[in-house]
Amino acid sequence: MVAENHQCLVMTIAGFDPSGGAGIIADLKTFLHFGCRPAAAITSLTFQNSTAVFGVIHETDQSLRAQVLPVIQEHKVAAVKLGMLPTAEIVAEVVSLIHEGYLPAPVIDPVLQSSSGYELAEACAIEALLRELIPLARLVTPNIPEAELLTGLRIEGEQGMRQAAQRLREMGAPAVLVKGGHLKRKSAPGFQQSSENPEEAIDLLDDQGEITAFREEWISAPAVRGTGCILSSGIAACLAQGLSLVESIRLAKGYVTETIRFAQDVSGGD
């Protein structure tokens, strides 16, 4: 029997980073922040710290299913966030779990590479993600390098972010949030900056053709890891509680900004 609980259960299916900077630990912290009950299934055990990824051991399709089924058979999962999906086998298993009605339409953070340059998804996993999983998403949240890799487009400014989002929608995604944090704000040609605040972090949502730009203060801080994990998990947690997509993104983005500001306060910033 599937138990009802007034606290929404949100599940992350993602990689485990023992240092806690990214992946499942960042996701679970975020679910708790937004008042949700966290659940997690590991796709890959990674070996890393803040400087580098030293290796990975991936789960199999069977071990992923074995993690997910007992949880979803006991509790209703209100929302799902997908992070690192390293192999085509893992992607296919997630697709099956969705088709079988076990998982709701997921928020997909397409984790392809670590900040230090380590490949976290095999080429055939990326192909499977594009072909089979992205059309089943509630939302896909690539950063600029991920959006470029997934679409083959070169993104130079806000217009480029729009084009990449549109391309991903043409590939089947119902909604796409392109995160602009990787754009070099001052040098990017065609990047429209607000005259009041020339240093903004801009994310662009294309929800079935309706465009919303989210602008937040750009905070100069040493690279904070896991911001993509936190954003997508925050969105999933808010969607689980019945908030709209735009409101969920707004709240999750505010929390990412708080997290970066806290990291700046702790380190003293640049």
Q: Which residues bind to ligand PLP, rule: CB under 6 A? A: 14-15, 17, 21-23, 46, 83-84, 111, 114-115, 225-226, 228-229
Residue 81 host element (H or E): strand 77-82
The type of residue at 11 is M
| Closest separation in Å from C-beta 255 to ligand PLP | 16
| Closest separation in Å from C-beta 192 to ligand PLP | 26
32 or 57: whose CB is closer to ligand PLP?
57
17 or 200: whose CB is closer to ligand PLP?
17
| Closest separation in Å from C-beta 17 to ligand PLP | 4
Question: Could you tell me which of 174, 265, 176 has the C-alpha nearest to residue 220?
Answer: 265
| Closest separation in Å from C-beta 265 to ligand PLP | 19
Neighbouring CB atoms inside 10 A of 92's CB total: 16
145 or 198: whose CB is closer to ligand PLP?
145
Neighbouring CB atoms inside 10 A of 158's CB total: 20
Question: Could you tell me which of 213, 226, 214 has the C-alpha nearest to residue 259?
Answer: 226
| Closest separation in Å from C-beta 60 to ligand PLP | 17
User: Read out DSSP for 130-145?
Assistant: IIIIGGG-SEE--BHH
21 or 104: whose CB is closer to ligand PLP?
21
9 or 224: whose CB is closer to ligand PLP?
224
Q: Quick one: DSSP state of residue 83?
A: -
| Closest separation in Å from C-beta 209 to ligand PLP | 28
> CA-CA-CA-CA torsion for 119, 170, 227, 16, nearest 10 degrees?
-50
The two beta strands, 200-207 and 210-217, are antiparallel
180 or 228: whose CB is closer to ligand PLP?
228
| Closest separation in Å from C-beta 4 to ligand PLP | 30
47 or 163: whose CB is closer to ligand PLP?
47
Neighbouring CB atoms inside 10 A of 190's CB total: 9
Cβ-proximal residues to 99 (8 Å cutoff; 6+ apart), any chain: 136
User: Read out DSSP for 159-189?
Assistant: HHHHHHHHHHHHTT-SEEEEEGGGS-TTT-T
